[in-house]
Amino acid sequence: MDLIRVIEQKKLGNALSKEEITAFARAAADPATPDYQLAALLMAIRLNGMDARETADLTLAMARTGDMMAPDVGGLPVDKHSTGGVGDTTTLVLVPLVAACGAKVIKMSGRGLGHTGGTVDKMESIPGMRTELPEEEIVSIVRRIGCCVAAQSGELAPADKRLYALRDVTATVDSIPLIASSIMSKKLATGAQGIVLDIKVGDGALMKTLEDALQLGDAMVDIGCKAGRRVTALVTGMEEPLGSHVGNALEVGEAIDVLAGRVQGPLLDVSLLLGEQMLLLAGLAQDAQAARGLLLEALHSGKGLAKLKEMIEAQSGDGAVTQDTGLLPRAAHRIAVKADKNGYLHEVDATRVGLIAQSLGAGRLRKEDVIDPAVGLVLLKRIGDPVREGDLLAQVHTNHPDRGEQAAQALLQALHIGEGSVPKAKQLYAVIAKDRREVV
């Protein structure tokens, strides 16, 4: 089918037929198709949208451009996906913790997209870590230890892999049909039977409003249920970075600290909420309370941290980082960011924080950019915390002092101090499942 005709149809705002959508997906998987044609259609979709039928058709078409796994992992395979945020390191906490409770977790992850971090980039900051794994090895690792976090392979949803990279550099990231089909095509292709979705909402998320987040959740749950999968979506907050660390090796270190019991707070809280749903979908707990009990036991006993070490070593990484985070890459310079007045931290411009980390080298401006795993930011205050002039608000970790000084000045502007106390940022906004939508 002529791809130009498909572009023309969506440019005019018309719904695409199943055949036209299948042609688009196959063209995306074909290396001979020019990037500019795919980019044109992505922009037309971003501007004119897709209805529920088109979105479902695109999801299935992209999944079918590659292998459709049906992994025998010795149990019901479960997965989790976040729509992306700043300091969102839940995967590295959640996957080993849930696996330590007996679940089988196949986690296919992506690289950095826009101002948000990518789990694969974070994992690759661990010395020796392999994330580009063949399907057979992924399944073998999950059967043996219960979990594996790997990069999306060229054989799994190759159409999505190409479109995912193009969206990042064509300003088409923030499209609900493209987000929903991208996420769910990978989940369907990897054979996950239980899928928990973490839909971020707020300043630092792709979804800025609760209405958009709910719409995305409805779309993805609908797609998954139509495909015969068990799906639950949580809408969680991103008014400030979820963790205090932003940057690849820094976020790995924070995840290790959480699993070691040294750090509590929103990163752990959201990980536990997601973990409850994963254990419920896997049939390993009767209710959320029982699931929470299993997760806390794995956390406090050290089983979760031990499982992370197992997973790292199974993927050729240096498991010693779980006992000594100093083995992770470290930036040459640290620059302090101090408060310039008294008050309370009222707001954190989370998107700007993500962009500042990106400017240091923690993220990509272009798809061919190379990540610096050591650089990033550490935030030492959260929304609602009291602040006095001269207090240390944050640290910039950089390998380029000039760039670091610019980042420190920008970061001070992203942290808004005001008079009077304000409440802590909200974490959970809604739960969406089949025939259920509960706003909390």
Residues with a known catalytic role? 81, 160, 167, 182, 186
What size, in residues, is the chain?
440
Strands 245-246 and 230-237, how do they pair?
A: unpaired
Residue (of 160, 103, 106, 159) closest to 133 by Cα position: 106
Residue (of 151, 171, 149) closest to 161 by Cα position: 151
Run of H or E residues at 52: helix 52-63
DSSP 169: T
Residue 308 to residue 325: CA distance in whole angstroms: 13
Q: What count of Cα atoms within 13 Å lies in the side-chain half-sphere of residue 337?
A: 24
- Three-state SS at 108: strand
Close Cβ partners of 150 (under 8 Å, ≥ 6 residues apart): 107, 108, 109, 120, 131, 132, 133, 138, 315
Residue (of 253, 257, 275, 276) closest to 265 by Cα position: 257
How many Cβ atoms sit within 10 Å of the Cβ of residue 19? Answer: 12
Run of H or E residues at 326: none
